[in-house]
Amino acid sequence: MRRRLRLACALAAMLTLGACAKTPEPHGVALPPAQSLPSQPATGTHYAPTAWPTLHRDSSNSDYVPLAVSTRLRVAWSALDGATLLVGPVIGPEGHLYVPSGRGTGTSHLHAFTRDGELLWEAAPMRSLADFDYAAVVSAPIVDADGNVYAGDSNQLWSFTADGAPRWVADLPAAGVHGFFVTPVFSREGFVGGVATDGKVAFFRREDGALAFPVLDLPGIAGPPTQDPPPGLWGGGMIAPEFVRPLWDLISGRAIEVANTPAVHPASGRVFITAGGATASEGVLYGIDTAADGARIAFATPMGAGSGTSPAIAPDGGLVYAIDDAGVMVAVDTTDGHIVWQVGDTMGQASPTIGPDGTIYSFNGIEGTVVAIDGVDGSVKWRRQYDDVAREHLPWRPLLERSTTVDSIITVADNGLLLCLDINYLLPFGDTPFPQARKFLLAHLDTTDGALLGWVETRDASSAMIVPDRDGSIYLSLGGVVSSIGHHGVDPRLPALLRANRAPVGGLLALKPLPARD
């Protein structure tokens, strides 16, 4: 301990010796003058035909949007400051933006905005778990073609009109479901529901919330045991204190059977979900068929340990991809469930993103590496590491290496990839250096080689979703994971000159295109 304190004091004393670096200027590609979505966007049956009507944009969980994007952006507005946002926003057919939060008793947990940032309505504030509660923060709303909104919390599934009026509430425990939906989905038949965290497959009628058919219980068990969250995580009321540990377990795939959003085949309607297996060292990728009178397991393909990631379906529908907790990606035949290929060195906490040509994009967040994989055979097309971005943005400091970490799900557009990068100093304490975030960037990458096409600085760490819209706007839900750990858990233990002094902000950030250059 004394040696570490001496090292910290020495580092603090030497910081003033660091050379100053000139921060590069934000830049980005030009946008086309006007954009529209295809007349029949492939978002899946029953979804609203908008740029982003569900968590991963479509029923295949592809995170692909058929629009061009740019980082030549300005901050247009922000909302929900001080709240962690981990999903959404999703976009309704009338242009409403819907995003959930989870600050707890006395606050609302579902918010509707216009594209200009006007608050349209909110769900009634939570007073007890009988209200729309804090677990909504991790369950993205979904929107149907009529504009109706469906959203889950810890023990209920809700439906609202586009104007915010509750249509119905389904009591999950009354149906035999003792978990909740990590984002509901629509079935081929038009039911709404999915696979709950306790492994129950349950769907409800969209018109009245009645149970559509008997609940199917998947035969697995909960994942590895619960684990303490990092010190300072979501401090300052960003998340209801009583939900911090359960939410951390869900994100880490611990103590629950299912921690992800199902993918639904856009043609056959088959539902795919990763889940815990028969033991804590096993995982399973299920194919589940639904019909008007029930659901059945079509196949159960063994995977590595844990609940893994949300699965994603190839553009031609022939393969479904998922990643286990060890970072091994598997490609599984959607018809019979046999493993076609598998490859390591991806990241188990992040759902794979799939481009329109079938290329899969994944990343190792701590290493700051993005990888592009051929969806047909699993071969690596390219792999790129982004510490050079940190060296451009942060001045040199004695004994402090500069690093870049990837901190969002990847969104793929027609002209590149969007992802969030944290720009860090590595603090050399403990067994593993701590990446202390100093800047946060929204980055635009070339799909052919991962080259940086553009970037713009944002106000906080993402750890969440990047949602483009057809007018060139980009909406960021800011989770504040690394910033809250750094500010509340790490900074107080450091000498003043080593502290980042970046309090987490969270919230929803709307970025609009800059005027075209002459």
Specify if 13 maps to a domain: no
Specify if 5 maps to a domain: no
Closest listed residue to residue 368, CA positions, set 418, 435, 304: 435
As beta bridge partners, residue 454 has 444
Q: What is the residue type of 266?
A: P
Q: Which domain covers residue 493, as residue numbers?
A: 48-513
Closest listed residue to residue 341, CA positions, set 316, 320, 370, 362: 320
Specify if 15 maps to a domain: no
- Count CB neighbours of 64 within 10 A: 24
Per-position pLDDT tens, the chain of length 518: 334 434 444 444 444 444 455 678 877 888 887 788 776 555 678 999 999 999 999 999 999 999 999 999 999 999 999 999 999 899 999 999 999 999 999 999 999 999 999 999 999 999 999 999 999 999 999 999 999 999 999 999 999 999 999 999 999 999 999 999 999 999 999 999 999 999 999 999 999 999 999 999 999 998 888 889 999 999 999 999 999 999 999 988 888 999 999 999 999 999 999 999 998 888 999 999 999 999 999 999 999 887 779 999 999 999 999 998 888 999 999 999 999 999 887 655 678 999 999 999 999 999 999 999 999 999 999 999 999 999 999 999 998 999 999 999 999 999 999 999 999 999 987 788 999 999 999 999 999 999 999 999 999 999 889 999 999 999 999 999 999 999 999 999 999 999 999 999 999 999 999 987 64
The CATH number of residue 314's host domain is 2.130.10.10
Closest listed residue to residue 414, CA positions, set 455, 458, 459, 444: 444
Specify if 501 maps to a domain: yes
Specify if 509 maps to a domain: yes
Q: What angle do CA 56, 362, 503 make, to 5 degrees?
A: 75
Dist. CA 447–CA 44, nearest whole Å: 24
Dist. CA 418–CA 315, nearest whole Å: 19
Dist. CA 513–CA 253, nearest whole Å: 37
Q: What is the pTM of this model?
A: 0.94
Specify if 18 maps to a domain: no
Specify if 205 maps to a domain: yes
Specify if 7 maps to a domain: no
What's the start-to-end Cα distance of the chain, in Å?
59
What is the number of domains present in the chain?
A: 1
- Count CB neighbours of 120 within 10 A: 15
Quote the strand ranges of 46-96, DSSP E: 73-79, 90-91
Per-residue burial over 478-507, b = 16 or more CB atoms within 10 Å of its CB, e = otherwise: bbbbbbbbbbbbbbeebeeebbbebbbbbb
Q: What is the pLDDT of residue 9?
A: 43
Q: In what order do the strands lie in the sheet with 319-323?
A: 312-313, 319-323, 329-333, 339-343
How is residue 47 annotated by DSSP? B
3-class DSSP state for residue 251?
helix
